[in-house]
Amino acid sequence: MSVTLKDVAQAARVSVSTASRALTGTGLTSERTQQRLTRIARELGYRPNPIARGLKTGQSRLVALLVHNLTNASFQVMAEVVQARLKALGYQMLLCIGGDDAQQESDTLTTLVDHRIDGLIVVPTGKNGAQLETLAKDVPIVCLVRRDDATDLETVLADDPQGAYLGTRHLIELGHKRIGLIVGRRDTTSGRERLSGYIRALRESDIPVDDTLIHAGHFVPETGATCCRALLDLPRPPSAIFVANHEATLGVLRVTAERNIAIPNDLSLLCYEDMPWFEWHRPAISIVDNGARDLANLAVDRLLHRMDAKGNGNDGVREYRVGARLVQRDSCRRFDAAKSAKSKSPPSKSSAAKSPATKPAKV
Amino acid sequence: MSVTLKDVAQAARVSVSTASRALTGTGLTSERTQQRLTRIARELGYRPNPIARGLKTGQSRLVALLVHNLTNASFQVMAEVVQARLKALGYQMLLCIGGDDAQQESDTLTTLVDHRIDGLIVVPTGKNGAQLETLAKDVPIVCLVRRDDATDLETVLADDPQGAYLGTRHLIELGHKRIGLIVGRRDTTSGRERLSGYIRALRESDIPVDDTLIHAGHFVPETGATCCRALLDLPRPPSAIFVANHEATLGVLRVTAERNIAIPNDLSLLCYEDMPWFEWHRPAISIVDNGARDLANLAVDRLLHRMDAKGNGNDGVREYRVGARLVQRDSCRRFDAAKSAKSKSPPSKSSAAKSPATKPAKV
DNA sequence: CTGTTAGCGCGTTCAG
DNA sequence: CTGAACGCGCTAACAG
């Protein structure tokens, strides 16, 4: 079926071992035979069999990426980045989808080590710490986006405290004082950290933290809708909403559209984690960019580092942070407290309907 | 490091082959030893090594999915579906991203066969037909979404002629007569087929085909913007636009937003291929659903079929179609030609701005 | 029904 | 510098 090392060796009238040495470039062969073998291998269209090689070396040239889903925009770019980087290095990516489920994660992990993966980048659920810790003895692991608190694994995180702080401060600087926050569950790293950044920014500006403005929920669009309604129905609704729960964004947008709330005129909206259509949306949605691309790149870097250092890598830093960035687009605007004070009630349909262009047409 | 078959055999005081037979369940062992071996294998935590097994059997329990990207919503759900289905059957998915590039596709294909994948589902670029044809001799292949005309491979396609027909007819039934079409490049199957469906629907209703209403372009958002502007700037602009080029949708939405064109009041909009946020968007965007989920499922079914039939499968049907469905949401509305005839000029900003709610708030 | 033997394709000793 | 031999873990012939 396919040409093997033996074929090459025979054609070159040398032994398989010589052929092996020459082609793997161990430098333990004469320059001449080396070149000769490479040439004839190419002529024959020889391709080493990774399976056979793996059986011998214990490696597979396979690296796994385990994420929760492909709906989340960050996971999409991470998958693309990891795949691209690895391919360039001769690795293939095994993409696994764990659904943020402990059982699925556990199952997946065991079959992955079965396949003798050379490395693993995982967004942990946080519920299989022991297993991860065990696996880490056999294969280099890098945690991404979330930390598994039960482990001591190398971890690449977004700088969520900073990101939430930057975003909140931005809104404050625009004059907002009542800033609604829709954030992730408190039992996730990101949920906690983004909340803390929000609070820090508020404190720094001596704005009292109003618990009724803070909603933590599951990572689904419905959360956004529910929380957004709750926020808008407040006696004193916020003038800005910071959606720091990425998945909730859709729900928020729906509710604001349904209620004909003009963004940013009636309400400023700041979201977390970019999506391709955010900048195509009108108004283009301002975001705090968590740096998915850089997170993925760094995770790959760290993984490769550990794969090179094979085993003796229990040194050095263990946790990395990729800074967040504020990307200002058109969904946040200056809030004039005095001016809008006239309307006590939540933004009425009529007022929303009356506000025409959120910005002048560009074309 | 990990417990091997030998370990199990020793513990059970049998030969490796007996152990192998018992555990693989060939039925060539006594009931007793079978159960005994299974038990002690479990106790020892034995996990078969797929690499070693693969070297022997020539299989890898690896199935590859090669798509163009993960930005396209259809590819996302396909990846999720394929991964889930395969995992349930003990296979791992190798996800590769080819970027719709001939060279990348070619490279990827060769490294995939190197890894002795047991099967391949590929969205072909159409430029590596010969290579695909060759590979197909060694490994079961199913083409998805696009056909590679240079090959005779089993192919699972969306019913694009039907989908475009359904969509166009829907708009016609709503009273639209000038229907703009933004569609994919003519050198792709989907591009051609969707165009044909559009034309058929028009013909059927005796509506003349106006070439100025038809725009074919590359699969990028910019295409949508450009084409949408061209359409709107026509002396007699369309009353509805059918965006049958999925990637172009973003561009169209931007332009309509920029020009403050109220959907569906000023313009009906129908898109192709669903995205999660379409139904969260306000107005919720009506679509022609290409059935990405079912396409993926069918592709997996067919692939598994061929993998079972190993080699002797040059029989039976070679091409499948997954029917399209019209999903009516809120972006299309009845067009009253007489009433709107008063405004000859393209929808003006003022008129757009005046139209408030696209539909009554639900909440 | 079971043990023995022989590779799968490759890397890696160990002698020349 | 090169060839011969061995084994990675497992399955599949062949005997018993």
pLDDT recorded at residue B347: 44
Q: Which residues of chain B lie closer than 8 angstroms to A246, CB-CB?
A: none
pLDDT recorded at residue B31: 82
Whether the per-residue pLDDT at B251 is higher than 80: the answer is yes
Residue to test with chain B: of A70, A106, A135, A354, most B Cβ within 10 A: A70
Nearest nucleotide from residue B15 CA, by C1' atom: C3
Output the six-digit token pair for B314. 């040059």
Domain boundaries, chain B: 5-48, 62-158+294-322, 160-290+325-338
Close Cβ partners of B34 (under 8 Å, ≥ 6 residues apart) = B22, B25
Question: DSSP states of B319-352 as a string?
Answer: EEEE--EEE--SS-----HHHHTT--SS--HHHH
pLDDT recorded at residue A310: 57
User: In whole angstroms, what is the distance from residue A111 CA to residue A100 CA?
Assistant: 17
Per-range mean pLDDT, top range of B23-32, B62-71, B304-313: B62-71
* Each residue's pLDDT tens digit, A278-320: 988 888 999 999 999 999 999 999 999 988 875 555 556 589 9
Q: Do A281 and B253 touch (CB under 8 A)?
A: yes
* Each residue's pLDDT tens digit, B183-239: 999 988 899 999 999 999 999 999 999 999 999 999 999 999 999 999 999 999 999
Whether the per-residue pLDDT at A204 is higher than 60: the answer is yes
β-pair type (A286-289, A179-184): unpaired
pLDDT recorded at residue B308: 83
Task: Indicate if B160-290+325-338 has the same CATH topology as B62-158+294-322.
Answer: yes
A58/D10 CA-to-C1' distance in Å? 14
Residue with tokens 């999903």: B327
pLDDT recorded at residue B189: 86
Output the six-digit token pair for A233. 């129905």
| Chain A, nearest residue to B110 by Cα | A47
pLDDT recorded at residue B35: 86
Min Cα–Cα distance to chain B from A174, Å: 24
Question: DSSP states of B72-137 as a string?
Answer: SHHHHHHHHHHHHHHHHTT-EEEEEE-TT-HHHHHHHHHHHHHTT-SEEEE---SS-HHHHHHHTT
User: Residue A10: pLDDT band by 50, 70, 90 thresholds?
Assistant: confident
Cβ of residue A16 lies below 7 Å from strand C: yes
Spell out residues with C-beta < 7 A from strand D.
Answer: A 13-18, 21-22, 28-33, 55-56; B 1, 4-6, 16-17, 20, 23-24, 26, 46, 48-49, 52-53, 55-57
Q: Give the DSSP letter of residue A313.
A: -
| Nucleotides of strand C within 7 Å of the protein's CB atoms | 1-13
pLDDT recorded at residue B102: 95
A176-190, A323-337, B38-52, B347-361: least confident range? B347-361
Superfamily grouping for domain B160-290+325-338: Response regulator (3.40.50.2300)
Whether the per-residue pLDDT at A363 is higher than 80: the answer is no
A3/C16 CA-to-C1' distance in Å? 29
Min Cα–Cα distance to chain B from A123, Å: 16
Whether the per-residue pLDDT at A348 is higher than 60: the answer is no
Whether the per-residue pLDDT at B359 is higher than 50: the answer is no
| pTM for this prediction | 0.87
User: In whole angstroms, what is the distance from residue B191 CA to residue B249 CA?
Assistant: 15
- Per CATH, which fold does A62-158+294-322 belong to? Rossmann fold (3.40.50)
Nearest nucleotide from residue A24 CA, by C1' atom: C11
User: In whole angstroms, what is the distance from residue B234 CA to residue B255 CA?
Assistant: 15
Whether the per-residue pLDDT at A171 is higher than 80: the answer is yes
A56/D9 CA-to-C1' distance in Å? 10
* Each residue's pLDDT tens digit, B153-170: 999 999 999 999 999 999
